[in-house]
Chains A and B, each alone.
Chain A
Amino acid sequence: AQKVTQAQTEISVVEKEDVTLDCVYETRDTTYYLFWYKQPPSGELVFLIRRNSFDEQNEISGRYSWNFQKSTSSFNFTITASQVVDSAVYFCALTNFGNEKLTFGTGTRLTIIP
């Protein structure tokens, strides 16, 4: 069975601070994908990144960066110099290769205080 744990239910930081959202996953599959989605107040889940299990390189996209470590089964997400527009619920998700089913974590509500 697959499982995704986002232990941080809510985080609040002051604007311009850096913040890291944690994601720990469990799977018996050797080939899998990890995802991060953002859900702003408008409701839609916005795709941010997909990482496959063979690629442990960290990725940076503007103020966003992701740290994938298979040794600790973690896929953490860092926002640098946070902005008010980053306020949202962030979901980590997992699927194995060739499977349409995504297993989501319970989400982390991030509030950026101006």
Chain B
Amino acid sequence: ETGVTQTPRHLVMGMTNKKSLKCEQHLGHNAMYWYKQSAKKPLELMFVYSLEERVENNSVPSRFSPECPNSSHLFLHLHTLQPEDSALYLCASSQSHPRGAENIQYFGAGTRLSVL
């Protein structure tokens, strides 16, 4: 148990559906991340929230919409996805501030998303 919990663990959705992925961290961290892991590709950083402000948006399509209501929770809202969006979506958290803080990312178990 890493202290980062993701729900659901598995999700199947149609291209016209709207769904949300949830991530909760119990580590007292101040930064949270969304990654996409596709087969045979490096982990792709999607979004970074630091002190509840979005500090990174890695050219992610607008059909992915993140939300960080507080430092412990992170959501990824999904709508009108494409089959190529099928992947493992991983959430992570770290203590990124102040400068020089530990800044080790701890990951959840991921949500396995299948888009039909």
Contacts and interface: CB of A to CB of B under 8 A. Distances in A.
Interface string B55-80: 11000000000000000000000000
A106 B41 contact: yes
Nearest to A50: B104
A82 B39 CA distance: 26
A45 B107 contact: yes
Contact of B42 (A50, A97, A104): A104
B103 interface: yes
Chain A, interface SS category:
loop
Given A43-B90, A98-B100, 8 more contacts: A44-B107, A44-B110, A47-B106, A47-B107, A100-B31, A100-B55, A104-B42, A106-B41
Interface of A: 33, 35, 37, 42-47, 50, 91, 95, 97-98, 100-102, 104-107
Contact of A44 (B40, B42, B48, B109): B109
A102 B110 contact: no
B114 interface: no
18 contacts: A43-B88, A44-B107, A44-B109, A45-B90, A45-B92, A46-B107, A97-B100, A98-B99, A98-B100, A100-B31, A100-B33, A100-B56, A100-B96, A101-B45, A101-B48, A104-B42, A106-B40, A107-B42
